[in-house]
């Protein structure tokens, strides 16, 4: 491996470990809240319907797949098709954000407000924190779109870094989906 | 992110690109240094205000009291007192020690001592400083708010730190500042770890690295893993304060369903215990090297020192519960944490013994960096021993939240890191600025720091053992504490004395910058890579990347024939006759 590749891979790995620790801490908190609660969701609050979270999962999974294609296409230097797949990645990412917004609306309509106690805190708070990261990820995709040109230095390395961050967000969402909505 | 890959970058030419938005690790190191020294002064002033209040309650603080507290005729009011100890702790830990030991020495030493031309990611390095800068501005700005700055202690436990305990924006800005600082630290950590792994000069194995680099590297690893934990904690705390969530609110203060204030303590200390080692590891590394350099002897058991530091790093992630023995955790847990805490003593004792082994029978040169290093050996030894009383559940129940704890962590953290930082500064100043510091003033500074320092912190241990609680405003009102007043007075007067002697340092620093004797390439006669090049180094450090052929501590080898008692790391190890 070239030294520059090694440096990039190492740095990206460490950065992702850092980001993961943030979410690990949130999950640890969640485990404490959930295991010490008498009932989850608390008495008088309905289970959150799975439809929207499921839709979010589909969006982010499909976008991850497109993102994977972007990298493969950049690797064989087919920037035209890479660009098309990048557009689809972003589209699916925006779809994810929209489905999340509907989720927040739905929570509000069913009488669960941000201030309604710990269940609501977790539902809103954690999805917000994740969503802020997704916005960061979308910005990274925009950056990639700007540099997706034959002349860019280390284009593949840059693509790989963005791709890894995007997959990371998908994995975190999947953990949230399973932990907070399914079970 | 794109890497530097050890190429020669063109030298910047404008003032702006040279000194402000600089990508040069040496300039960024100096930026962090001035930043740290500024906050060290600010935090130090706060300490004097705190001590004055504890010893002369109701009396106006001399000279600047009336300026700071015009409404109370120069007396520190109780609410300001809480802000002072909160900001003192926060500033010293995050804004003084971290930038000095990690920001300044990390940036300066890592590339130079491993034979690299810069960090792996110079731009990230620049961003790391400016995030820290922004964070500092937010923190200082919070002092000017109408309701004042954060006042919940540097640990910011809820409920003290929620809207109920701390109304006003001070605590919120505290969270924002800490988060920004965390981003800066994480960026630095990514850079340091990558640089050490990928940019070591050819021939330099991990055990050929100076121990300074070991310390900084382990610190960076801990930073990358644990700073985000605090990041998560302050995000949730901010949400509780700003958006109405109830992560850390319980009982009547939570509207329905209960959050958990103690959870914050867990989160804080999962970060917090590694954090104390984040702060001390660079100092350990520096001291381990300097003891060898100035004893003109190889570092005793250098490899085991490095491994012991690594063991401490790993164990430090498993002991955080010893800060929470009194939170009604189950005895099974307290005893497990106690056992793990005691386990850390083993590697600590190993490298401590190695330090003693290093100076044993050395031909010691008592130059100022050595004096400060020996100071660290003394104060860290004392601080470490007091840790045992606190790590033992049965004694901690009584000592928790007393001045004994305050004395303990000032010995281990404040005193050790301060002295270690000064040792490093006196040692690398010639390389950084190309001039020598004045040795006489440095020695006056050492004794003027070392003696009062022990008055302060040993005094704290004693009043804590005598039962004085930490964070109280006026010890005079408690009958049980009145017999401690003489010791309290000693502590305060020592603090004023020690503060006064820091002026000697500032004078020496400024004077030497402009008027100091020109420094030769290698004023201390040691063999690590940075001393093979001019003082100060050129922009790209090394014209030719050096090739390393031996370890960093090759001093006093009897086979040396060239009139030197040390050899450079670039020289083949001299062997005796077969
Ligand atoms: C040598 C082994 C050490 C042991 C066994 C130890 C043990 C402890 C224990 C049990 C406490 C909690 C006391 C209480 O609150 O009741 C404590 C507090 C503390 N220790 Fe240590 N410690 C050690 C070394 C260090 C070092 C090396 C540092 C820093 C560089 C350090 C910094 C601190 C700090 C900052 C606190 C208190 C924080 C606070 O409550 O505000 N300790 N230590
Ligand atoms: Cu601890």
pLDDT tens-digit profile of A74-90?
999 999 999 999 999 99
Asked if A114 is an interface residue toward chain B (Cβ–Cβ < 8 A), one would say yes
Residue among B372, B371, B375, B393 nearest B383 (CA): B375
Q: Quote the CA–CA distance of B120 and B133 in Å, as a whole number.
A: 22
Query: Per residue in B58-83, pLDDT tens?
Result: 999 999 999 999 989 999 999 999 99
For residue B402, give the 3-state DSSP assignment.
strand
Tell me the nearest-neighbour CA distance from B104 into chain A, angstroms: 21
Q: Is A47 a residue whose pLDDT tops 90?
A: no
Domains of chain A: 3-182 (1.20.120.80)
For residue B555, give the 3-state DSSP assignment.
strand
The reply to whether residue B244 touches residue A114, judged by beta carbons under 8 angstroms, is yes
Dihedral over Cα of B333, B336, B338, B344: its sign: negative
Instruction: Check: CB of residue B117 under 8 Å from CB of residue B8.
Output: yes
Instruction: Name the residue of B89, B321, B387 whose CB sits within 8 Å of the most ligand 1 atoms, as the mutation to test its pocket.
Output: B387
- Residue B335 Cα to ligand 2 middle (Å): 15
CB atoms < 10 A from the CB of B50, how many? 19
Q: Which atom of ligand 1 is nearest to the CA of B323?
A: 12
Q: Distances from the Cα of B2 to the Cαs of A6, B121, B320, B459, in angstroms? A: 11, 7, 37, 52
- B258 → closest Cβ in A14, A19, A118: A118
pTM of the model: 0.95
The reply to whether residue A25 touches residue B198, judged by beta carbons under 8 angstroms, is no
Q: Whose CA is nearest to atom 26 of ligand 1?
A: B412
Instruction: Check: CB of residue B438 under 8 Å from CB of residue B512.
Output: yes
Asked if B246 is an interface residue toward chain A (Cβ–Cβ < 8 A), one would say yes
Buried b / exposed e across B491-526, counting CB within 10 Å, b at 16+?
bbbbbebbbebbebbeebbeebeeebeebeebbbeb
Q: Which helix (H) or strand (E) holds B47?
A: helix B25-55
- Residue B254, pLDDT score: 57
- Residue B273 Cα to ligand 2 middle (Å): 4
Q: Quote the CA–CA distance of B116 and B369 in Å, as a whole number.
A: 25
Enumerate the residues of chain A whose CB falls inside 8 A of the CB of residue B257: 37, 42, 116-120
The reply to whether residue B186 touches residue A115, judged by beta carbons under 8 angstroms, is no
Residue among B563, B561, B574, B556 nearest B293 (CA): B556
For chain B, the helix, strand and coil percentages under 3-state DSSP, each to the nearest 5: 65, 0, 35
DSSP state letter for B477: G
Is B279 close to ligand 1, i.e. is its CB under 6 Å away? yes
Tell me the nearest-neighbour CA distance from A73 into chain B, angstroms: 21
Residues in chain B where the model's pLDDT stays below 50: 1-4
- Ligand 2 (single-atom ion) residues, CB below 5 Å: B 273
Give Dmax (Cα) for chain B: 82
Enumerate the residues of chain A whose CB falls inside 8 A of the CB of residue B240: 121
Instruction: Check: CB of residue B39 under 8 Å from CB of residue B137.
Output: no
Q: Whose CA is nearest to atom 23 of ligand 1?
A: B387
Asked if B320 is an interface residue toward chain A (Cβ–Cβ < 8 A), one would say no
Mean pLDDT of chain A: 94
- Residue B4, pLDDT score: 44
DSSP state letter for B435: B
Query: What is the phi/psi pair of residue B469, to 5°?
Result: -70, 150
Q: Distances from the Cα of B364 to the Cαs of A42, B211, B241, B263, B426, in angstroms? A: 69, 19, 56, 50, 17
Tell me the nearest-neighbour CA distance from A129 into chain B, angstroms: 9
- Residue B26, pLDDT score: 96
Enumerate the residues of chain B whose CB falls inside 8 A of the CB of residue A164: none
Instruction: Check: CB of residue B419 under 8 Å from CB of residue B291.
Output: no
Residue among B79, B267, B46 nearest B178 (CA): B267
CB atoms < 10 A from the CB of B31, how many? 21
DSSP state letter for B566: B
CB atoms < 10 A from the CB of A84, how many? 15
Asked if A132 is an interface residue toward chain B (Cβ–Cβ < 8 A), one would say no
Residue among B278, B392, B381 nearest B341 (CA): B392
Query: What is the phi/psi pair of residue B40, to 5°?
Result: -60, -40
Tell me the nearest-neighbour CA distance from A37 into chain B, angstroms: 8
Query: What is the phi/psi pair of residue B518, to 5°?
Result: -60, 135
Enumerate the residues of chain B whose CB falls inside 8 A of the CB of residue A153: 2
Q: Quote the CA–CA distance of B529 and B205 in Å, as a whole number.
A: 14
The reply to whether residue A15 touches residue B197, judged by beta carbons under 8 angstroms, is no
Q: Token pair of B124, please? A: 């990230």
CA angle B45, B47, B49 (to 5 degrees): 75
First vs last C-alpha separation in chain B = 52
First vs last C-alpha separation in chain A = 43
Asked if A35 is an interface residue toward chain B (Cβ–Cβ < 8 A), one would say no
Query: What is the phi/psi pair of residue B65, to 5°?
Result: -55, -50
Q: Token pair of A33, please? A: 């809240």
Query: Per residue in B335-372, pLDDT tens?
Result: 999 999 999 999 999 999 999 999 999 999 999 999 99
Buried b / exposed e across B57-84, counting CB within 10 Å, b at 16+?
eeebbeeebeeebeeeebbbeeebbbbb
Residues 6+ apart with CB under 8 A from B544: none
Q: Which atom of ligand 1 is nearest to the CA of B396?
A: 16
Residue among B564, B570, B498 nearest B533 (CA): B570
Q: Is the ipTM of this complex over 0.85?
A: yes
Asked if A33 is an interface residue toward chain B (Cβ–Cβ < 8 A), one would say yes
Q: Which residues on adjacent β-strands are paired with residue B469?
A: B402
Chain B residue with the nearest C-alpha to that of A152: B2
């Amino acid at each position: 491996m070239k030294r520059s590749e090694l440096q990039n891979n190492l740095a990206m790995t460490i950065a992702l470990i850092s980001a993961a620790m943030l979410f690990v801490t949130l999950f640890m908190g969640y485990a404490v809240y959930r295991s010490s609660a008498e009932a989850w969701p608390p008495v008088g609050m309905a289970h959150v319907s799975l439809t929207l979270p499921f839709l979010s999962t589909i969006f982010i999974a499909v976008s991850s797949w497109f993102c994977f294609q972007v990298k493969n296409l950049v690797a064989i230097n087919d920037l035209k098709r890479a660009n098309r797949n990048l557009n689809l990645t972003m589209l699916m990412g925006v779809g994810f954000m929209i489905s999340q917004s509907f989720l927040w609306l739905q929570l509000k309509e069913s009488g669960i407000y941000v201030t309604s106690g710990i269940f609501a805190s977790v539902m809103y708070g954690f999805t917000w924190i994740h969503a802020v990261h997704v916005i960061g990820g979308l910005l990274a995709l925009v950056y990639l779109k700007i540099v997706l040109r034959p002349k860019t230095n280390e284009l593949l390395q840059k693509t790989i870094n963005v791709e890894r961050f995007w997959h990371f967000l998908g994995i975190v969402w999947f953990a949230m989906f399973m932990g907070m909505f399914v079970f | 992110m794109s890497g530097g890959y050890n190429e020669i970058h063109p030298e910047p030419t404008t003032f702006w690109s040279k000194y402000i938005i600089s990508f040069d690790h040496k300039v960024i190191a100096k930026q962090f240094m001035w930043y740290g020294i500024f906050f060290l002064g600010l935090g130090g002033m706060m300490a004097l205000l705190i001590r004055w209040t504890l010893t002369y309650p109701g009396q106006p603080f001399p000279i600047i009291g009336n300026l700071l507290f015009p409404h109370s005729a120069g007396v520190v009011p109780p609410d300001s007192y809480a802000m002072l100890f909160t900001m003192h702790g926060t500033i010293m830990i995050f804004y003084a020690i971290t930038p000095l030991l990690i920001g300044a020495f990390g940036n300066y030493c890592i590339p130079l001592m491993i034979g690299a031309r810069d960090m792996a990611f110079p731009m990230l390095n620049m961003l790391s400083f400016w995030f820290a800068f922004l964070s500092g501005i937010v923190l200082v700005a919070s002092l000017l708010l109408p309701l004042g700055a954060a006042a919940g202690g540097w640990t910011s436990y809820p409920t003290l730190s929620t809207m109920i305990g701390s109304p006003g924006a001070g605590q919120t800005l505290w969270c924002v500042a800490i988060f920004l600082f965390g981003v800066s630290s994480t960026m630095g950590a990514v850079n340091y770890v990558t640089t050490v792994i990928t940019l070591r000069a050819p021939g330099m194995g991990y055990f050929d690295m100076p121990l300074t680099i070991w310390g900084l590297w382990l610190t960076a690893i801990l930073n990358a893993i644990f700073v985000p934990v605090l990041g998560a904690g302050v995000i949730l705390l901010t949400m509780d304060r700003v958006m109405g969530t109830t992560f850390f609110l319980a009982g009547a203060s939570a509207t329905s369903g209960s959050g958990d204030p103690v959870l914050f303590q867990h989160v804080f200390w999962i970060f917090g215990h590694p954090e104390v080692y984040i702060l001390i590891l660079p100092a350990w590394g520096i001291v381990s090297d300097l003891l060898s350099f100035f004893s003109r002897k190889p570092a005793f058991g250098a490899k085991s020192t490095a491994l012991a530091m690594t063991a401490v790093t790993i164990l430090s992630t498993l002991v955080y519960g010893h800060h929470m023995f009194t939170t009604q955790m189950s005895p099974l847990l307290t005893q497990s944490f106690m056992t793990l805490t005691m386990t850390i003593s083993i590697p600590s004792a190993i490298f401590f013994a190695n330090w003693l082994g290093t100076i044993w029978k050395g031909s010691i040169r008592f130059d100022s960096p050595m004096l400060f290093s020996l100071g660290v050996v003394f104060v860290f030894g004392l601080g470490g021993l007091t840790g045992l009383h606190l790590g033992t559940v049965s004694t901690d129940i009584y000592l928790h939240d007393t001045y004994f704890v305050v004395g303990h962590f000032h010995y281990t953290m404040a005193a050790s890191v301060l002295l270690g930082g000064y040792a490093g500064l006196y040692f690398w100043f010639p390389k950084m600025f190309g001039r020598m510091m004045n040795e006489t003033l440095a020695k006056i500074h050492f004794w003027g720091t070392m003696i009062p320092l022990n008055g302060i912190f040993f005094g704290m241990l004693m009043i804590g053992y005598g039962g004085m609680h930490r964070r109280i405003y006026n010890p005079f009102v408690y009958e049980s504490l009145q017999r401690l007043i003489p010791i309290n007075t000693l502590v305060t007067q020592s603090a004023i004395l020690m503060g006064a002697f820091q002026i000697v340092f500032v004078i020496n620093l400024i004077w030497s910058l402009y008027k100091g004797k020109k420094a030769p390439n290698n004023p201390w006669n040691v063999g690590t890579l940075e001393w093979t090049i001019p003082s100060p180094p050129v922009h790209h450090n090394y014209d030719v990347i050096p090739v390393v052929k031996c370890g960093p501590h090759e001093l006093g080898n009897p086979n040396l024939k060239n009139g030197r008692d040390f050899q450079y790391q670039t020289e083949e190890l001299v062997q005796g006759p077969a």
